[in-house]
Structure formats: C-alpha cells, structure tokens
Structure 1
C-alpha cells in the first residue's frame, strides 16, 4: 500500500509540473496579458496607401466644383518625362476649370496647366517643394507661363494663371487639406 501511495503522489507531482510548464509556454491557450497586447510589430502592419494624384483631385474637386478631371499622366504620355524618375512625381493628373474663357486658351495643348491645372504627387515633401521652386524660377520672367503653385505635404497643385487670384485661392484652400 505504501508503494501505491508513493506512486500516486509521484504521479500527482509529475502532472503538476507538466501542467505548470505548459501553461506558461503555450500563450495561445491563455488570455493575453498587457505586454502581449501593447507590443505591435510594425513590419507586419499594412502600410498606409500612398496618396495618388487622382485621390488628391477627388478631394480638391469637392472644394472647387468648377474643376474637371481632364487626364491622367502616364510614362507614355508625360510631356515632361518626369513620372517615376528619381526625385520627381510618382503620379500626376491634369484638370480644366470651367471659369477659364475658351478664347484665353485657344490652341493650348490638352493637359496644359493653362486650361485649369495639374496635381503632382511626390515621395517626399522636399521633392514637391523643389519642383514648385523650380517652376517658379523658370516661369518668373515669362508671363504666359506663370502659374499659381501650392505645396501641401507631398502634393503640388499647379493652377492656371488665367484664374483670378481670388479664384486661385480656392485651390490653395483645397490644397491645405491634401498634405
């Protein structure tokens, strides 16, 4: 009898040790603790969808109802050959503005900023600002090429000089919600 009592006691101790070891190492069978729920591995989180020029135009057009999408720039039709190049825009669209008189833009190339404008999106805010600075520098002495340029984060909104300053200010106000 003494042998069976000792065997039973040994069995109980062995089961206790196995149960104690198992509960600490198998966390999927236990409720999560604060350390487990507070730690998030950023590499497994989905990256935020980058803003595209099309997305930016949708937001901008909600603020400026006279703007109409006129085209999406691709690597095949980009007149500047900048799309996707280092430090240049990653997406671009062009738009028209119904307040611009047809006589003012007669003969303008489709997609011309003079018809309304363009939205260019860059990887970094510094790249967007550098592009705006470049455009302003190049067009400064050429009245027919002057335009309004508004940078908001990684987005550059280019607006036709045929719009009045008050009309162009609507685009500036809309651009403030893009970056």
Structure 2
C-alpha cells in the first residue's frame, strides 16, 4: 500500500496540492480536507468510538463513529464507505450529508494541530454488528442520543465531536437530521 495523501486546501476550500498524511500532522498542520461520520442504526442509536491509544493525533479520546481524509480525487461518499469498512468492518450504509460546511481547528495536549474542512455525514445501517480495527479503534459502543449529548460536555471527548454536537443537537435526534445536500461541500470535494 502506498503513502496515504491528504488534500491541502486554501482559504476558499479549493485544492492546492497534496501531502503525506503521516508527515502532515504536527504543530503547524496545514489546512486540509477530512470528514466525520456518525453511524446510526434502526433503533436510533449512534455508534460512538474511542480512538486507538497509539493514534498519532488525539489518542484515546471518545468521538463519533469514524473520521478520515478523502484521497486526491476521491469522492466524499467513497471515502466514507472506505473508512467504515477499514475502521469498523461495516460493509455498506445509506449516507446523508448533514453538515457540509463544518470546519475546525484544534490543538492536542502534545501540541499537535488538526485543521480541517470536515463535512459531517450520517451513515444509516440495517445491521448493527461492527468489527473494529484495533489499529484505529480502542472501543466501539452503541449509545442513546442522550448519552451522546452528555459526552459532548465531557473532556474525554474529541474537540471536533464537541463542536459538531453543538451544531447537530439543534437538528434533533440522529434519525431526524435533515439532508443538507451537497451544494455546501467545499469545491475540492465531490459527493
């Protein structure tokens, strides 16, 4: 497998190049393309994960279901489905773009910066079985929405989770989140 590349962005969210993912996350991480995904099941529960303890950035924090970086030329839909398979062993899901304009910058305790344009996607699954990849995920648990909201007030959650929940909570429970469409996605990313 080759070196995983991230898509670098300018202030207008246009692609301006690529860089190796592993070498790009440090105290001066460049602004780049990413995504977050919240997996929901038919009972309205949300799959919440704890990042692997040896992850380079934000190890051991509780967060949404999965996140990742679309590769150069990769569509958002394809990137989300790839990470669902790779991180959680989820073979298929119905995807909805719920926060296409989300972006954030966060600094970890060790000084590592995340600086991402990070659309948020809901993935609805009919089968709630998951098979987490231990290199990515320390734990994966199905939670009620109320418990998810409580996590957003706790320091063991990721900064992007807390910021995303501030925007998702007013939309209601996860099954009620409206499809925001794709027009708000950055120019560098197709659905």
The normalised TM-score by structure 2 is 0.27
The normalised TM-score by structure 1 is 0.28
Give the greater-gyration-radius structure (CA).
Answer: 1
Greater strand fraction, Structure 1 or Structure 2: 2
